[in-house]
Structure formats: structure tokens, C-alpha cells
Amino acid sequence: MEALARRASWRRRLIRFDRLLARRAAGRGRWGVFPHEFLAFGLKQASACLFGGLMVALLLASWRWYPAHAALARYDFLTLSALAIQGVLLATGLETREEARVIALFHVVGTAMELFKTAAGSWVYPGASVLHLGGVPLFTGFMYAAVGSYIARAWRLFDFRFSHHPPFAATVALAVAIYVNFFSHHFLPDVRVALFIALALLFGRTWVHYRIRRVHRRMPLLLGFVLVAAFIWLAENVGTFSHAWLYPAQRAGWHMVPPGKLGAWLLLMVISYVMVSAVHREARRRPGPPGPSRRH
């Protein structure tokens, strides 16, 4: 109860501070409103990225400073740290139980793919660990879950609405096809191009309406997918640079992950989006806000 009271007190203070900034920004006209909204947008994005940002920071910090001969292996430290972060997000209400369940499912889906991909030699984990399945440290599932965590929190923080969203069943079929292809292309023809075409056909007309403060603005949902995939690709470069995992071509010396991997992350991000959308099915059916949204 005491923790809830403290959280409510901090929330009230933030709301009062935001209103104070809004009044001062409104007095300066358009040039005052823009920086205020830009600041609010950045803070919401930072909050949505909290889990993933902390995990990327831990990858770098543990690579630079974690003792090489510690009793607790680096990978196990990362796994326990991820569990602690997840627990704090739930305890503080920054993540709902429904969101946590979907993220846990994505953890399982990601780990299953990791087991297959490492066995196929797509990438390796060079360190030792106790908390692992096969050759896959358990912290890796949290890296996939970080994508789901970002989408779930951004959906709630920005009050997502949609125009021309495809039927849920169609998005599920696409997500299943994408997931199967991640396995089957090792034995059968890669249908990635067909999946990109299906993605464009399904979501090409879809707009996401997002609210920074009071006004809903909009952007093409496909553009949002691409932007998120680009940030995941950057995070992957941090992961390989910190030797958390390595592609075969990086074992002789690190270099950036090829930009071609952006396509794989785009498709994987769609799987995460569809899983999170299962929690927000009612919100997804809500139309975009009445009247014209501002286009960005």
C-alpha cells in the first residue's frame, strides 16, 4: 500500500509539472508547443524502451566490467538481472500482467528459435553459463521479450488507434508464416520476398494514430515497423560488439551486422506486434480519433 501511495504521489507531481510546462509552452505559440511535445514524446519513448534499454546497457557494462572469472557467469548474471528488471516493472505498475503474459510467450517463442538457429550454426554464444537450454543462455529470450515489452508499453503510453487495420486472423496467419519460414528456409526455398509482399498488402493502408499529449497524430504503420526494426538492428550491433553473441563471420574480428538483417528484424518485429495486439484487440478495433489527425 505504501508503495502504491508513493507511485500515485509521483504521478500527480509529474502531471502537475507537465501542465505547468504546457501553460508556459502555449504562451509562446507554435514554437513553444513543439519543443514541449518533442520532450513529452522523448520521455514516453524512453519509458517504453526501458526494459530493452536496460538490457542493452547491461550487455555493454558486463562486457566491459564483469569479472572474467566470477563464480556467477556473465550470461547467468544477465539472466538474473533481466528477471529482476521484469519484477520491478510489474511491481511498480509500469507493465501490466496481461502484457507480461504476452511477453513471456514471446520469450518462449524466441528461445525455441534460438535453439534451432544455434544448432544450425546461424550464430553462437561464446561464453559459458549454468542457466541455459542446449547452447542457448536463458537471457536471450529476454532480448526477444524486450521487443514485445516496447510495443506493449508504447501502445498504452501513446494510446494507439488505427485506421484500415487488417483483420486479426489475417495478421496471425502472416505471423505464423513468418515464424515457420525462419525454420523452413534452411531446408526449403526462402519465401521471404513473398512475406514482404504480404506484409505490404496487409498493412499498406494502415495508419497508426498516436497521442503525445492531447492531439492524436498519425503515421503509416509500415513506417513504424521499419523504424522499430532499425533500432533493433542497432541494438544487435551492440550485442555482437559486446560479444554476447557472434555471427560466424564475426568470430575472426568484429564488424557491423550487415544491413540485410534489417529485413529479418522487420519480419520478427511483426510477430511481436501481432502477439501484443492480441492483448489490445478491443483497442485495435477502435477507429482513429474523430476529425483529421495531424500527419507526421
Tell me, what's the pLDDT at 246? Answer: 93
pLDDT of residue 43: 86
Phi-psi region of 30 (alpha: psi -120 to 50; beta: other; left: phi over 0): alpha
β-partners of residue 210 are: 217
Q: Which pTM was predicted?
A: 0.84
Determine the Cα–Cα distance for residues 68 and 139; give it in Å rounded to an integer. Answer: 18
How far is Cα of residue 161 from the mean position of the Cα atoms in its chain? 18
What pLDDT, on a 0 to 100 scale, did the predictor assign at position 96?
82
State residue 3's pLDDT score.
47
State which residues of the chain have pLDDT below 70. 1-34, 36, 281-296
Three-state DSSP at 54 gives helix
Backbone angles phi, psi at 68, to 5 degrees: -65, -30
